[in-house]
Amino acid sequence: MDEATDGVAARTAEPPRRVTEDDWISLHVFYAANANPVLVRCVKPLVAGLRADGLLRHWFFIRYWLEGPHIRLRLLPADPARAEEVRRRAEEAIAAFLRERPALYEEDRNASADLYKNMFLAEYSIERWNELYGAEGQMPFRDNNSVAAITYERELDRYGGPAAMELAEAHFERSSDVVVRLLETTNVHVRTVLLGQAAQLTIGLCLAFLGADEQGVTETAAFLRRYRQMWETSYQEPSDSQHARFDRSYERMRPRLLQRVRHIRDSAREEPATGPTPQLRDWLVHAAELRDQVLELSAADALAFRDGTAPEPRAALAIVLSSYVHMTNNRLGVSILDEIYLAYILDKALAELAAESAR
């Protein structure tokens, strides 16, 4: 092909097709027990095999509760023509796991009906409830130890539009890989270990996005305060007695927590003497790259959120950061109430570090 025809080909080549939610395989695994074995013993080897065979472009998972506790597994085939092969392998792997290690106890659905309705109303609305289940109706529950193919509905308005959604999905994959490794290699069944891992991932992500200098630390503390207040007002009434319990807990762990948060801050600053673990270093590098990509989309006016406006760059960072933090905690299995607690104590620790720097 000569230079002239090269030029024509370049001008007439179609841009790559943007991924849509229909390209994703979405399987909901209903499992009324600790779902960590589903992820470690079923999903992890499934994903490894699909990757090894060149069949997988992206994947991620979340935990969810709608119509019963379950794992939402999303798989994006590398080749749409082989999507059915990917689906078949996934369904076979899940079915085999559920036969070999079923959840043994059924949830008491009558006792938990009010809880599920309150969770629904906190996340959606009474109008949506009435539309789906009727004013006097109840949420139906899926069969335990079952899998359902349910369409993946991308939250474009939440993450900033189509381009930002693809960026978020790539991050979801990285977050899912990190979390599954932690589930496999650390004692996250111990609550203090689980919350410690969540705190480190949260602080690393926040400082990479908002900055690890003095101003960034102050902004991160303010972000976590807003984050905590958002969840408090959504799921419960904030109370002085609860905050007093948090304060007592903070005082008990204060020296260790300050040391750890200071280490992550210094690692985010890339201070030579810090010596972060490979896992922390990789997470900070990923978070910094993610931040830069969000800023690039903002500079290109390629972000649009629920209200239809394009916020200024730092505001855009905070908007997506809130969802990135929450969904990583979701993957770990951290409850909303524990997220409120973590945000409270991390805010206090960062405020102390900011005060240290100001002296």
Closest by Cα among 257, 189, 264 to 33? 189
Q: Is the pTM of this model over 0.75?
A: yes
Helix (H) or strand (E) holding 146, with range, is strand 146-149
**Given this model, what pLDDT does residue 128 score?**
92
For the sheet with 25-30, list strands across it: 56-64, 70-77, 25-30, 146-149
| Structural domains present in the chain | 21-107+144-149 (3.30.70.600), 158-358 (no CATH)
3-state secondary structure of 256: helix
Assign residue 142 a region: left if phi > 0, alpha if psi is -120 to 50, beta otherwise?
beta
- 26: phi then psi, degrees, rounded to nearest 5: -125, 115
**Given this model, what pLDDT does residue 15 score?**
55
Given the structure tokens 């609305």, which residue do they identify? 125
The Cα–Cα gap between 82 and 63 comes to 27
Question: Mean pLDDT, 10 residues at a time, over the chain (359 residues)?
Answer: 49 64 95 97 99 98 95 98 98 98 85 84 89 90 95 94 96 98 96 97 98 95 96 80 93 96 94 85 97 96 84 93 98 96 98 83
**Given this model, what pLDDT does residue 2 score?**
52
The Cα–Cα gap between 325 and 327 comes to 6
**Given this model, what pLDDT does residue 11 score?**
46
Closest by Cα among 206, 215, 323 to 261? 206
**Given this model, what pLDDT does residue 6 score?**
53
Q: Are strands 146-149 and 25-30 parallel, antiparallel or unpaired?
A: antiparallel
The Cα–Cα gap between 143 and 280 comes to 39
**Given this model, what pLDDT does residue 124 score?**
87
Please work out, in degrees rounded to the nearest 5, the angle formed at the alpha carbon of residue 115 by the alpha carbons of 237 and 40: 105
